Structure 1
Amino acid sequence: MEENEKKCELTLPNGRHIEFSYAKLKAGAAIGALLLAGAVSCAGYFYYQLADYRSEAADFAAYKQNKQEQQTKLQQLVNDNERMLRDMAEISNLEKKLRRAIIRDVDSSKLGEGTSMVDSTTAKETSANTSYTGKGGQGKLDVKGTMAVLRAQNVNIKQMLDATKKSVSELLGEVEGKSGAAATFPDKWPTDGGVISSSYGVRTGPIEGGYDWHPGIDIAVDFGTPVYATAAGTVEQAGPNGGYGRYVRIAHGNGYETAYGHMSGIAVAAGQSVIKGEIIGFVGSTGYSTGPHLHYEVVADGQTIDPFYVLKQ
């Protein structure tokens, strides 16, 4: 008899006899194995989906948190931007008060028309631009809209800064001009305080020893102390200059020039006009230097002189 015809007989405790073939038994076992494999596969699939969902849920929560933080920072930028606009408006108003206060003491024809918040040419172009369709109403700006507002307000701030700087420079120029030659005579001390660490003339070399000629004075003072123009003039040079480090040279007219070395930073540019007492840089230790100080020179008719000849005592 073939295998698929073989019978198997099973007697139950209650005396009942069950008869089945090996072929059916094998088929049932195969079906059971398939069902078990399917169940395992389904369980694995659902477990993977659950893990993936948990991961996506965590990522989404992190995204929401990050978005909230970004929105908070963006709102802070908007607030800072608006505060700067208010500050600029206050500065502009103070400039106008200053103009009214001193206009009786100077030639008013030289003072211009005062600070304008927006250049007149820009205003005309704006009024002629029919693409502007702004209307009133409630609305919540998205990130793109908020950035557009920030950019527009930054343009306004820049225009206000430029106009105010120009106007105040005109005012100060006229006030300085009243004192004539006094404004261009380099008699102002170039820093706030400090001590003379090296005088003008022959000295012991601070780095290589021996003797050398020191064409100015060294004023030892803290890093970052402002350096002031000792007289009104025009910046001839502003930048690195060998052993002088970061260096500024100013021509004052009437044969006078001044030079400032070893600065940590420079606040002016070549060709720029400066007034007496204007910040031109900050004390540092660049170039050949053993510590923070300002090297200061005065030149009269092409020759260095001892700055103490002209500095206010």
Structure 2
Amino acid sequence: MINKFRKLKDLLNSFQQMQGDYTVMLVPHDGKGISRKDMDTAQIKKYATIAGGVALGTVGVIMLLSCMLYSSSKEARELAEFRKTKAQQEQKVQELAKSTEAVQKQLAALAKIEANVREQMKKSGMEVPTKEQLAEAEGGKGGPSKAKISDITILQQQNLNLQKSMQVSTKNWDALLASIKSENYRMEVTPSKWPVDGGYVSSEFGGRANPFDGSGDYHPGIDIAEDYGAPIYASASGYVQRAGWYGGYGNYVNISHDYGYSTAYGHMSSIKVNAGDYVEKGQVIGYVGSTGYSTGPHLHFEVLLYGEQVNPRKLMK
């Protein structure tokens, strides 16, 4: 556009420098009706000045419109770029909000797991670590950076790192909780609770003299002398296999536990459970009596491991 403007200016200048008289001829394309006009230098300069003014004005208007169009186009591009940048930032903010929500859910789940772990550890008598001790295993790193990083990018990275940390911690807590629950279950189903509140062992496990005739005898359990009607407790959790009269045992209860254990309780005055019941460790299953082959109120207590009698004293706490 500038070069064309310069050429037009040069052409007008050449018209201004012309001298003498000239004839201007207008020749149609068909060659008919040719007209001519004689013009002197003053007229040529006059028409050249008018034409130059019109041409320069037209060029000026065109240049002004071009500048306005360029400016408008530039503003439109800048506005489009701004909208694009704003949309990207809004998308990042939405992603950050979702990421933060996910982290909060993981933290809530982890808090529940931690509460369960602490409860199970207390139940099993284990030492419960403080939150400060647990926090010692976690840390961070960072420092100044030469590169410019937006706050949104930093928050996104922090959330990403926190999510990874939570995932690892959750797996660790889950494994610990499963281990503790397994240990607590083992303790629940292992006969270790003394089956009455007090009393004393009136006959030990193993060889002894028969209480009726004094002959040699093998005692498959222990006899615990206790007051008539005293409550009898399940030594471990399990399912009642038998509950009722059983020969010399009198009123008798047999409970099957896990890990190969079972327990038997004889000479009861009355029974409080039925075959098929699930009983908790420490639950009352009957009362001390002297039914069956008995010389007085007591509990005959047996512990079996895979069907073989073992000394209950070795398991009692």
> If the length of structure 1 is used for normalisation, what is the TM-score?
0.44
Bigger Cα Rg: 2
> If the length of structure 2 is used for normalisation, what is the TM-score?
0.43
